[in-house]
Structure 1
């Protein structure tokens, strides 16, 4: 811990010089920036990584801070992350177990002049269902048809009952049908067009992306004139740029950088998120095709020791998989028991590969080492397999890994099915725990009337995967830190990872 803190401080001066040059930023600033005077000038936002694409159909949600300024979700959410009627879709009803009718707001247009009507809404849903590389494709496989009988009505039919369709539409962004078809995914990503409060201003390839006010925005106008996005994948560099006043807000600071930012007189906001680090045990092949060894591994790992020892309490230990919203707890969980873990291994010589995305998450290497050390104490042999994030995801999806792999589950929709369908089904993203009973429970949950009726099924499903099968070892929720200049206010970030710059001023 001390080494990391001192290393970060030593990097500050060098990082400021190198990164400002690379990002085209300057430390001098305007007179108002030096004095701390407020203005409605563009907000200079520093992200932790360059978006891989600005197309929400195929792009990971790491690009949402940028595209979410120009594009809007079909349905907004309230403070509890429940769907509300303030956005593009203003009302909905469930006509029967497999039919939903949605009402679309009148009089909205895309920034290129296309009509943002029911046909555009229907097309956006179908793009998510039908695009082969669609990031949400698996969540819309039950959608049988989507039609727009008139300009303000969308009728969606599912093959079997599915209670969470409105929740899923909070994660579907409205796209202009003609423009998207003309440009294709790459062309759209180069120049996104939406209905949001901002429009694309300029792009400096590999360096920055700027958005400015959409003069024809249908909703409440932003309090600033735009947002200038740049990025750095080093927390120490993000802190350095914030300290030098080269940016107004720097996202995803480690807790040591957050502490240093506070000491430097900067404002720091910390949010307990729904982003959850999970260790996945791959059950189809050795060594974890042996249920006894899966149980031993699950009992060996002490999530509380990880949170206290590595994060000094700046993370939230969490023993459940399907308890999505912060503050919710699983019905049953697994508590570390090193003695029983050693007894179950029983002196057998078993090697466990531990694969993890090096550098992707704060202190992930230390977390991997802590898990490996616990497994070794139980009698396992450990082989560490650090990978870049893209390679890890490809190998997980391609079923190329065994042993344990770790990454964060990011529930962009605040319902348990986002993890249940994403991780627990046989045909899920991870596919690490194929079990016909789990498949049946996932389907049973979706066929309930609403989230309340589905909750007991998700409790049963969580117990099956985490407690009975020992296929998942939930570790902790991330606490997300971002720093701002003292004269900056109104930047918003929520527990599901959504950014809102519309109320920001400096």
Structure 2
């Protein structure tokens, strides 16, 4: 979601459920709590999110949900500052023993916070759940995996049907869950009180209001510098600005450009980071009206990404015309440039109705973006209607192939290799399934069979050209510049380019 992600141990961006500890200054509707008397030195770090979390189950949760669960759960493999896999996490070594076999070494003597062993059997179980659970957003990435075995407590062997160079990369976004507890509780039960191996443990939540974690006294790694974190949310950007200005929270995430500018003017420290998250318009080529290639081309030519960046974000976003250029700074080999006049010619008179579906309050200024896309389509001759859904509902409908027309949501490459978007969006059996084409399936498989990402790069350029430039199934719009503000004295928040957050060094 990609949808929705990480340097620095991959502690990430956000979703959750509910039960809780002390009042922290934000009510369920996002207002300040009159009873709040300010933080004490031992109180949790107070983190304010833009939206209420949907699930804390990493098996079925979109990867925009990690800010909360990644405090308690850990990925199988960590990444470094360059987003490359490292040996510092739960898996400490991996070798490609033959073209279709990967062997992984599990860090010894690690336990979950409930006492279960975090051994090879747990790793194998988590990968299996990721591959086989119907609602898993990572399911398509592991469709080539035929066998996952734990021959002993310290070894996991993964076999694939055909060669696949990126298995270690994929495991950087698979979070380890305890087998017995997960089976006993099920997805909803696990999400209500997650158990992991991470630096924090569940401390409770108040339904619809807040979620808290506290320091894990038995964590195998370096202990957090703080006692814990309490997450709250406020959908309105003005509320997030007001709460950080009033010092009711310690960190306020996802400030739109106007609020970020206002915060800076008021002397609040704001950090801005160009991220790998890009907002994309997905056109469903399997249903009317975009089963007509001419109308897909018209829509792609009508949408002016540069105007969106300038008019809505005042330049505080980065126009991006590519789908598979996953790292900030990369550019696509070919791209589509807006041409409203040609778009109008292609539509002709009496254009069809197009539904634009987008997730309410999930991304900065997303409603304005949807309206801008719709306005461009109307100028080309389309009739436009809008449907705003909560993020969780939108994801379920996309997976169920129930979103005709255009859906607008973020692509978050939690794994910094192009196949993350290819397998997630482009293959016939992908998450979106909006552009079935045997050529894309064949090229996707060919790319994975290369020895490494460098050798696969020309194939990914070809995939991008077919999907974006020739078939117009995807209209990439822009990369998000993410702004967050910290209260006076708060330091040590580590925000990664894959929209990940590490709170372990945060102090005030």
Give your verdict on TM over 0.5.
yes
Matches of 1:275 and 1:326, distance apart in 2: 9
Matched residue, 2:18? none
Matches of 1:400 and 1:67, distance apart in 2: 28
Q: SS at 1:359's partner residue?
A: coil
Matched residue, 1:488? 490
Distance 1:176 1:353, change over 3 A: closer
Distance 1:21 1:446, change over 3 A: closer
Residue pairs, 1:464-503, within 5 angstroms: 464-503=466-505
Give me the TM-score of the superposition, normalised by structure 1. 0.91
Matched residue, 2:285? 283
Say if 1:25 and 1:246, in contact at 8 Å, map to a contact too.
no
User: Following TM superposition, by how much is the alpha carbon of 1:382 offset from its aligned partner in structure 2, in angstroms?
Assistant: 2.7
RMSD: 2.0
User: Following TM superposition, by how much is the alpha carbon of 1:315 offset from its aligned partner in structure 2, in angstroms?
Assistant: 0.7
Deviations 1:128-172 (A, max 9, x none): 112222232222121111111122111111111111100110011
Matches of 1:351 and 1:199, distance apart in 2: 49
User: Following TM superposition, by how much is the alpha carbon of 1:399 offset from its aligned partner in structure 2, in angstroms?
Assistant: 2.7
Q: SS at 2:506's partner residue?
A: coil
Distance 1:290 1:131, change over 3 A: closer
User: Following TM superposition, by how much is the alpha carbon of 1:27 offset from its aligned partner in structure 2, in angstroms?
Assistant: 4.5
Matches of 1:395 and 1:153, distance apart in 2: 38
Q: 2:37 aligns with which of 17, 28, 32?
A: 28
Determine if the alignment matches structure 1 residue 395 to structure 2 residue 397.
yes
User: Following TM superposition, by how much is the alpha carbon of 1:203 offset from its aligned partner in structure 2, in angstroms?
Assistant: 2.4
Deviations 1:1-51 (A, max 9, x none): xxxxxxxxxxxxxxx986688675754315x6xxxxxx5652111122232
**Number of equivalences:** 484
Say if 2:32 and 2:243, in contact at 8 Å, map to a contact too.
no
Residue pairs, 1:11-410, within 5 angstroms: 26-30=35-39, 39=41, 41-347=43-349, 349-410=351-412
Say if 1:23 and 1:208, in contact at 8 Å, map to a contact too.
no
- The structure with more helix, counted as a fraction of residues: 1
Which residues of structure 2 form unaligned runs of 5+?
1-24
Matches of 1:24 and 1:140, distance apart in 2: 46
User: Following TM superposition, by how much is the alpha carbon of 1:356 offset from its aligned partner in structure 2, in angstroms?
Assistant: 2.4
Matches of 2:235 and 2:463, distance apart in 1: 36
Matched residue, 1:451? 453
Matches of 2:137 and 2:352, distance apart in 1: 36
Say if 1:20 and 1:26, in contact at 8 Å, map to a contact too.
no
Give me the TM-score of the superposition, normalised by structure 2. 0.90
Say if 2:27 and 2:33, in contact at 8 Å, map to a contact too.
no
Matches of 1:225 and 1:398, distance apart in 2: 41
Distance 1:86 1:40, change over 3 A: farther
Q: SS at 1:274's partner residue?
A: strand
Say if 1:65 and 1:499, in contact at 8 Å, map to a contact too.
yes
Say if 2:355 and 2:385, in contact at 8 Å, map to a contact too.
yes
Q: SS at 2:241's partner residue?
A: helix
Deviations 1:106-130 (A, max 9, x none): 1212122222111211111111112
Say if 1:23 and 1:230, in contact at 8 Å, map to a contact too.
no
Matched residue, 1:10? none
Matches of 2:402 and 2:275, distance apart in 1: 30
Deviations 1:380-433 (A, max 9, x none): 333333333344333333333333221111222111111111111122222221
Matches of 2:217 and 2:182, distance apart in 1: 22
Residue pairs, 1:423-434, within 5 angstroms: 423-434=425-436
Q: SS at 1:370's partner residue?
A: helix
Q: SS at 2:254's partner residue?
A: strand
User: Following TM superposition, by how much is the alpha carbon of 1:489 offset from its aligned partner in structure 2, in angstroms?
Assistant: 0.2
Stretch moving more, 258-267 or 56-65: 56-65
Matches of 1:270 and 1:107, distance apart in 2: 39
Which residues of structure 1 form unaligned runs of 5+?
1-15, 33-38
User: Following TM superposition, by how much is the alpha carbon of 1:474 offset from its aligned partner in structure 2, in angstroms?
Assistant: 0.5
User: Following TM superposition, by how much is the alpha carbon of 1:68 offset from its aligned partner in structure 2, in angstroms?
Assistant: 0.8
Distance 1:40 1:312, change over 3 A: same
Stretch moving more, 197-206 or 247-256: 197-206
Matches of 1:349 and 1:190, distance apart in 2: 47
Question: Larger radius of gyration, structure 1 or 2?
Answer: 1
Say if 2:279 and 2:408, in contact at 8 Å, map to a contact too.
yes
Say if 1:19 and 1:237, in contact at 8 Å, map to a contact too.
no
Q: SS at 2:367's partner residue?
A: helix
Distance 1:353 1:176, change over 3 A: closer
Distance 1:366 1:137, change over 3 A: same
Say if 1:51 and 1:62, in contact at 8 Å, map to a contact too.
no
Q: 1:463 aligns with which of 438, 462, 465?
A: 465
Distance 1:353 1:229, change over 3 A: closer
User: Following TM superposition, by how much is the alpha carbon of 1:483 offset from its aligned partner in structure 2, in angstroms?
Assistant: 0.7
Deviations 1:303-355 (A, max 9, x none): 10110111100111000001111111111101112222223234353333322
Matches of 1:346 and 1:272, distance apart in 2: 39
Matches of 2:209 and 2:347, distance apart in 1: 51
Say if 1:118 and 1:151, in contact at 8 Å, map to a contact too.
yes
